[in-house]
């Protein structure tokens, strides 16, 4: 895999999307994988930008024919990452960021063991609840359901190589950027991207 693959996971309201978008603004060499989903677009979302919004039947067809490298059902909706798109990015040697849930991240690790997993935690459950309420888009029942789901999601944090506590956005962005850079500098990546720098090692003295 000539490109670097980073998965970023967090419970709803932890600030994952804001964190990822800020990193992408700073790092022009990163590509964000746009997932497919069956959920309805939220206000301000655009098809092909935040998600590829498709009908459930079309999603299941793509899933059953191997169109997704990972997929999951979250809060009654399906989400998946295009296998063809990822393969194309890797073929170009591009670094790719996936913003996915813990189930999807587990599937990506199985398919691409070289991938790097990052989990974003909120500083506390009360702060997570505050952030969900500030959205102003969810009912009390939905907020309660999301908080319960968040607890279940956060119990999988130990499956990830890196953990960021998103208490201060600028600090969290810096930490995520550091993880991405460290992943790029691993021996396997450097050797694949710059084999000529290593060629002299095979020569006899």
- DSSP letters spanning 37-70: E-SPPPTT--BTTTBEE--HHHHHHHHHTT-EEE
What percent of the chain stands above pLDDT 90? Answer: 53
Task: Tell me the per-residue pLDDT of 83-104, one tens digit each, with 9 for 90 and over.
Answer: 988 888 877 878 999 998 898 8
36: pLDDT strictly greater than 90:
yes
Higher-confidence position of 204 and 14? 14
3: pLDDT strictly greater than 90:
no
pLDDT at 74: 79
The owner of tokens 């974003």 is 120
Task: Tell me the per-residue pLDDT of 116-160, one tens digit each, with 9 for 90 and over.
Answer: 999 999 888 888 877 777 776 777 787 888 788 888 899 999 999
From 6, 11, 9, 5, select the one nearest 146 (Cα to Cα).
11
pLDDT at 9: 94
pLDDT at 127: 81
Higher-confidence position of 18 and 130? 18
202: pLDDT strictly greater than 90:
no
Task: Tell me the per-residue pLDDT of 159-187, one tens digit each, with 9 for 90 and over.
Answer: 999 999 999 999 999 999 999 999 999 98
Q: What is the mean pLDDT of the chain?
A: 88
Task: Tell me the per-residue pLDDT of 52-75, one tens digit each, with 9 for 90 and over.
Answer: 999 999 999 999 999 999 998 877
CB-CB contact of 117 with 105 (8 Å)? yes
CA distance linking residue 178 with residue 160, whole number of Å: 16
Q: Say if pTM beats, i.e. exceeds, 0.85.
A: no
Q: Tell the burial category of 117 from Cβ atoms under 10 Å away from its Cβ (0-12, 13-18, 19+).
A: buried
Instruction: Show the 3-state SS of 17-37.
Output: HHHHHHHHHHCCCEEECCCEE
CB-CB contact of 140 with 3 (8 Å)? no
What would the two tokens of residue 60 be? 């299941």
């Amino acid at each position: 895999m000539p490109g670097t693959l980073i998965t970023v996971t967090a419970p709803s309201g932890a600030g994952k999307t804001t964190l990822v978008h800020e990193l992408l603004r700073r790092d022009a060499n990163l590509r964000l994988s746009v997932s497919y989903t069956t959920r309805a677009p939220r206000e301000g979302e655009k098809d092909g930008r935040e998600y590829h919004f498709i009908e459930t039947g079309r999603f299941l067809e793509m899933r059953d024919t191997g169109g997704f490298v990972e997929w999951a059902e979250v809060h009654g909706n399906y989400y998946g990452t295009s296998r063809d798109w990822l393969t194309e990015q890797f073929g170009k040697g591009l670094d790719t960021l996936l913003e996915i849930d813990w189930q999807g991240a587990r599937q990506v690790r199985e398919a691409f063991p070289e991938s790097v997993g990052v989990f974003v935690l909120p500083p506390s459950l009360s702060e997570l609840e505050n952030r969900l309420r500030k959205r102003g888009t969810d009912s009390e029942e939905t907020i309660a359901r999301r908080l319960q789901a968040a607890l279940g999601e956060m119990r999988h944090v130990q499956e990830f190589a890196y953990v960021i506590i998103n208490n201060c956005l600028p600090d969290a962005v810096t930490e995520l950027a550091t993880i991405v850079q460290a992943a790029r500098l691993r021996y396997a990546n450097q050797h694949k991207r710059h084999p000529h720098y290593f060629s002299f090692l095979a020569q006899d003295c």
